[in-house]
Amino acid sequence: MYLTKTIKTIALTIVLALVSLPAASQDLLARTAPVDKKMKSLDTLALHEVVERENMETPSSDLYSDWDNRYAHKATELPETYKINLRGFCMPTPSRVITSQFGPRWGRQHRGLDIKVYIGDTIRAAFAGKVRVVKYEAKGYGNYVVIRHNNGLETIYGHMSKHLVKENQVVKAGTPIGLGGNTGRSTGSHLHFETRLCGVALNPALFFDFRNQDVTGDYYIFHRSQMESESAKATAARGLKQNSYTKDDVYGGKKSSEPTSSTANRQESERPTPSASNARYHRVVADDTVHSIARQHNVSVDRILRLNSFINPNDLVIKPGQAIRY
């Protein structure tokens, strides 16, 4: 009798233990779930910190196999396509006047843009990155700086009067890196500005609109097969050719005027230019067109073209991410 009662007691204890086990497990899972979530968040933060540290040490290591301070540029194999992040930028100079374009010049290739600056003007880093080269070249760049950026580009700033950074220094977009000058192979004070991908010179007008002091969009998708045609379009859309200029033209104090030769061009230049103070911006999204933006904001296509000189009136091509004044 006593043995039977003992066996029943043991059996009941085992059954209760088995029944309570899933509930206890669920309680344990419920208690550990927030901890797991916090640990995952910490892991993500730690991963971001590792990536940031690696970018500071060797920016764009996915594109470049080495870090060498001996040369200004060395061409390597270009990717077929590459997405270049243009956000978080700073214009290298507030100057709006381009005195020489990218492309053929004087029987040789001009690999950058010449932007009018005065001796002593502050030159700033275009994007965050790391200074790779700080040198002087008597028969070329003069005092120049090369910065490798986290977005894959390298920028070169030439003919400066003074360096303000050192090699291997980490810089933010907008960090002063030098002063405008007329050193090296130069015929007047200006900034020679280059943008390179894997050491290959790309037209800075693909990324920067100096006349409007802005980038061309949040991103630029580089296509190796379209490199030359895209460069020509960028020069046509954003090139500024002037025979003479004043300090007001350079820094936007006055509306600069360009010489024209045809009657059509003269008529266009006589049209009233919309006031910049009355202009607003539309950020281009997929499927936007110049005509749809004009209809959306109840303005004319002609007004949009006059406010946005980078839009080619022949094809009206715009890209997602661009800021369109209207």
pLDDT of amino acid 303: 84
For residue 143, count CB atoms less than 10 angstroms from its CB and return exposed for 0-12, middle for 13-18, buried for 19 or more.
Answer: buried
Structure tokens given for 170: 């980490």
Q: What is the 3-state secondary structure (H, E, C) of the chain?
A: CHHHHHHHHHHHHHHHHHHHHHHHHHHHHHHHHHHHHHHHHHHHHHHHHHHHHHHHHCCCCCCCCCCCCCCCCCCCCCCCEEEEECCCCCCCCCCCCEEECCEEECCEEECCEEECCCCCCEEECCCCEEEEEEEEECCCCEEEEEEEECCCEEEEEEEECEECCCCCCEECCCCEEEECCCCCCCCCCCEEEEEEECCEEECHHHCEECCCCEECCCEEEEEHHHHHHHHHHHHHHHCCCCCCCCHHHHHCCCCCCCCCCCHHHHHHHHCCCCCHHHCCEEECCCCCCHHHHHHHCCCCHHHHHHHCCCCCCCCCCCCCCCEEEC
Decide if pLDDT at 266 tops 60: no
pLDDT of amino acid 309: 75
Average pLDDT over residues 241-266: 56
Q: Please tell me the distance from the alpha carbon of residue 35 to that of residue 28, in angstroms, as a whole number.
A: 11
pLDDT in tens, 271-298: 344 444 455 788 888 888 888 888 888 8
Band of residue 118 on the pLDDT scale cut at 50, 70, 90? very high
Decide if pLDDT at 100 tops 70: yes
Q: What is the pTM of this model?
A: 0.64
Average pLDDT over residues 240-249: 70
Decide if pLDDT at 262 tops 50: no
Average pLDDT over residues 258-281: 42
Q: What is the 3-state secondary structure (H, E, C) of 189-222?
A: CCEEEEEEECCEEECHHHCEECCCCEECCCEEEE
pLDDT of amino acid 314: 72
pLDDT in tens, 172-216: 999 999 999 999 999 889 999 999 999 999 999 999 999 999 999
Give the highest mean pLDDT range of 3-17, 100-114, 256-270: 100-114
Q: Please tell me the distance from the alpha carbon of residue 157 to that of residue 309, in angstroms, as a whole number.
A: 25
Decide if pLDDT at 269 tops 60: no
For residue 178, which of 225, 235, 226, 133 has the smallest C-alpha distance? 133
Average pLDDT over residues 91-107: 89
Mean pLDDT of the chain: 82
Decide if pLDDT at 152 tops 70: yes
Decide if pLDDT at 265 tops 50: no
pLDDT in tens, 18-75: 555 555 556 655 666 666 666 666 667 666 566 566 666 678 888 998 999 999 999 9
Which domains does the chain carry? 81-238 (2.70.70.10), 273-326 (3.10.350.10)
Decide if pLDDT at 223 tops 80: yes
